[in-house]
Structure 1
Amino acid sequence: MTSEHHGLGPTRARVLALLQSAAAPLSVADVADELGLHKNSARFHLEGLREAGYVDCTTGATGHLGRPPLLFTATSDSPNVTNSHLMELTQVLIRSFVSSLPDASRLAEEAGRSWGREVSDDTEPATDVLDGLVAQLAERGFGTIRGEDALTFTRCPFRPEVGLAELPVVCAIHQGFIDGYLDSCGGTHSADRIQVGPRLCHLDLHDAGAQMRVAAS
């Protein structure tokens, strides 16, 4: 999840993520040491999170003379600032319920196709279908460069998170997503198979309408 969703700057999001993953309340010094921040900076961000209702603050016991430290914990109302829990759950579900099936890729594509149809906009003019597809992929974390007759994926949000054994199923879901989206939009575009590379992925596109116009001219 990005700051566009949770409304936090990068440093404050890191502070909240640390508190959410901590097994016990943390002090200002704990947060500063863990994230490499100055104590004043750590205190500033913790106070901001507390004012927003995302962090609770209690007084810790020291067992000796001196001012007891303030201890901070994330509240149940605090927003998720990472997707690691969802990625892990996705991997477990794919490994346990999909990858072991003999027709895992086909089922994954069918699921993706239904998903693509659900998000498509039937009122979209055919000339805007590819722009719409690129926008839908961007919303889901994909970096996509649109060429005249191809898409190049410069970033996949799943590649760094999902295991190699599960990645083909994820790719099949997104193949279905693209196919379902293009079919449902009612345009003339179709897609070849996604070519998965070591860093970039590539997808060739075909426009039957353009081909017919060329043939008729």
Structure 2
Amino acid sequence: MTLPEPGQHAVGRRAEVLRLLRDAGSPMAIAEIAERLGIHVNTARFHLQSLVSDGRVERTTTDSRSPGRPPQLFQAIRRMDPTGPRHFRVLAEVLAEVIATDPDPSRRVLAAGRLWGRHQAATVIHPTATKEAPEPADSVERLMRLLDELGFAPERPAAGDRPQINLRHCPFFELAVSRTDVVCPVHLGLMQGAMQSWASPITVDRLDPFVQPDRCVAHLSAVGGS
């Protein structure tokens, strides 16, 4: 039995199988695919199984009424490749540049962040959560959980009159460094929107970005407080 091809060569061969099926005018059998590409039937079968699992190729059969089991055929699924490369950072950079041309970009993205926060708030389930307005400590606990799920690596606030949450990681670090005026208000709005959605007596009234190279600080206060 021929073993699957290792490493990058296997990826290239799989792409050849997919390209052949895309260019074909009709479904193809394993033996035909192997012959056209000059590979072993087992190798073709291995790559076809992977392509089927990835949702890029599908199995089909002929309508032959001849005796016996009809041969299994394969054809490419006509759609964009769901496993292809993504460049979301480039898109984010373009959008940030566009937003930055607004006369008041911080106000605009703060509102967008609050909307994001209200949507995200519904995903946070806390053991002590009730339909009633949460206690301050419960609100902070929910916010900590939300920030952790989104990759901000939050640290619990220290005791004091002005509690704060240290954020040790920024999921949008590269963009935040170059566009603090756009990215950081989104994060502030995220936290405010979540707290509003929970009817929390606590809010985040300020976010200080990069007070240290590895730390941003979200300042908490009572709703309506100073």
TM-score by length of 1: 0.56
Aligned to 2:145: 135
| Inter-CA distance 105–78: structure 2 relative to 1 (3 Å threshold) | same
Whether 1:202 aligns to 2:217 is yes
Pairwise mapping of residues 153-164 of structure 1 onto structure 2 (< 5 A)? 153-160=167-174, 162=175, 164=177
Whether 1:169 aligns to 2:182 is yes
User: 1:199 is aligned with what amino acid?
Assistant: D
> % of aligned pairs identical?
26
Aligned counterpart for 1:182 among listed residues 182, 195, 212: 195
| Inter-CA distance 184–88: structure 2 relative to 1 (3 Å threshold) | same
Q: Which runs of 4+ in 1 moved over 6 A?
A: 45-48
Gaps of 5+ in 1: 1-13, 20-24, 29-44, 57-74, 212-217
- Residue aligned with 2:178, SS: coil
Deviation at 1:147, TM superposition (A): 1.7
Deviation at 1:103, TM superposition (A): 0.5
Aligned to 2:100: 99
Aligned to 1:151: 165
TM-score by length of 2: 0.54
User: 1:157 is aligned with what amino acid?
Assistant: P
User: 2:92 is aligned with what amino acid?
Assistant: T
| Inter-CA distance 204–140: structure 2 relative to 1 (3 Å threshold) | same
| Inter-CA distance 88–52: structure 2 relative to 1 (3 Å threshold) | same
Partners of 1:206 and 1:193 in 2: CA distance: 9
8 Å Cα contact 1:190/1:205 also seen in 2: yes
Aligned to 1:64: none
Partners of 1:163 and 1:26 in 2: CA distance: 37
Worse-matched range after superposition: 102-111 or 121-130: 121-130
Deviation at 1:178, TM superposition (A): 0.9
Worse-matched range after superposition: 111-120 or 45-54: 45-54
- Residue aligned with 2:203, SS: strand
| Inter-CA distance 157–187: structure 2 relative to 1 (3 Å threshold) | same
Partners of 1:105 and 1:132 in 2: CA distance: 25
User: 1:108 is aligned with what amino acid?
Assistant: V
Partners of 2:209 and 2:56 in 1: CA distance: 42
User: 2:156 is aligned with what amino acid?
Assistant: R
8 Å Cα contact 2:134/2:201 also seen in 1: no
Partners of 1:132 and 1:146 in 2: CA distance: 11
Aligned counterpart for 1:26 among listed residues 3, 6, 12: 12
Partners of 2:176 and 2:113 in 1: CA distance: 19
Gaps of 5+ in 2: 1-6, 15-45, 58-77, 123-129
User: 1:89 is aligned with what amino acid?
Assistant: L
Larger Rg, first or second structure (1 or 2): 2
Q: Deviations over 1:174-209 (max 9, x none)?
A: 111111221231121122311111221111212469
| Inter-CA distance 155–208: structure 2 relative to 1 (3 Å threshold) | same
Aligned to 1:113: 114
- Residue aligned with 2:221, SS: strand
| Inter-CA distance 200–49: structure 2 relative to 1 (3 Å threshold) | farther
Deviation at 1:145, TM superposition (A): 1.2
